[in-house]
Amino acid sequence: MSMRVLLYFFVVVLLIQCETPTDEVEETNSIESYCITGDCFVKLYTEENPDENGYHHIYRTFGGTFPPRFDLNIESSLMKDKYVYNNVYNVFSYFSSKWNYTIDNIVFSLPLYNPFQSLYSYNGIIPIRDTIVTIDYFKGEIYPVVQETRVYHSLKDDVLYSKKIIPLFEEMIGDTMTVYSDTSFDSKIHILDSIKIVIHEN
């Protein structure tokens, strides 16, 4: 008899521990519960409107000292207040693409000064000439065109906003770059998206 009472006691305790209110289950399992707009959304776009096939066409001038670049903009929906911490939204994105570039030599110029020969201006000493410095330590290193570091979204108007600055190279002219994004909403849900960008020369 005592064993039956003891068994009944353990069953009751187990049921109490496993019981979860229905509304709590719906709250934690529903994607709509995290964002104030209902479904959480992500929108990728550039300075140019997409064509009828959804491709964005970017025009740049190549051949300068530095590679041209463009901004890849991303918007996302606001999360509910209980997922906002100290007025900061924990929403961030990673980006990636299949494009990489190889470093050749890093070349830059340094100004040379001579306190006995240089002229002076209101802002200080004027360099007498420049010298070219070449660094080949990184030669042959491969890096992604779209850096994979995360970017955090911040409030802009009635949405969350961020951007990724992407450089372009002459070898990319005429090709299509697909950029992929992975956006985390407070590490609770992830939304994957992508955008196709065609590179043109002005």
DSSP state of 81: G
What is the pLDDT confidence band of residue 105, given thresholds at 50, 70 and 90? low
155 close to 14: Cβ distance less than 8 angstroms: no
Give residue 109's domain range. Answer: 104-139
Residue 123 within a domain: yes
Residues 6+ apart with CB under 8 A from 67: 167, 168, 169
Distance CA 87, CA 102 (A): 41
- Residue 15's pLDDT is 45
Kindly state whether residues 129 and 176 are assigned to the same domain: no
Q: Which residue has the tokens 């080949």?
A: 136
Residue 115 lies in a domain: yes
Residues 6+ apart with CB under 8 A from 55: 176, 196, 197, 198
Q: Are 54 and 96 found together in one domain?
A: yes
Tell me: the pLDDT tens digits for 153-182? Answer: 999 989 999 999 999 999 999 999 999 999
Q: Residue 12: pLDDT band by 50, 70, 90 thresholds?
A: very low
CATH number reported for the structural domain that contains residue 183 in this entry: 2.60.40.1930
Residue 59 lies in a domain: yes
pLDDT band at 140 (very low <50, low <70, confident <90, very high): confident
Q: Are residues 60 and 41 in the same domain?
A: yes
Instruction: Quick: pLDDT tens for 39-89.
Output: 899 999 999 999 999 999 999 999 988 899 999 999 999 999 999 999 899
Query: Exposed (0-12), middle (13-18) or buried (19+): which is 45, by Cβ within 10 Å?
Result: middle
**Which is higher by pLDDT, 118 or 70?**
70
* Nearest-angstrom CA–CA distance, 198 and 70: 12
Residues 89 and 157 both lie in one domain: yes
CA dihedral 120, 114, 105, 98 (to 10 degrees): -30
Which of 53-57, 99-103, 195-199 has the weakest average pLDDT?
99-103
Q: What is the pLDDT of residue 126?
A: 74
Residue 190 lies in a domain: yes
Same-domain check for residues 155 and 92: yes
One domain for residues 164 and 180: yes
- pLDDT score for 130: 80
How would residue 110 be classed by pLDDT, with cut points 50, 70 and 90? confident
Q: How many domains does the chain have?
A: 2
Give domain status of residue 1, yes or no: no
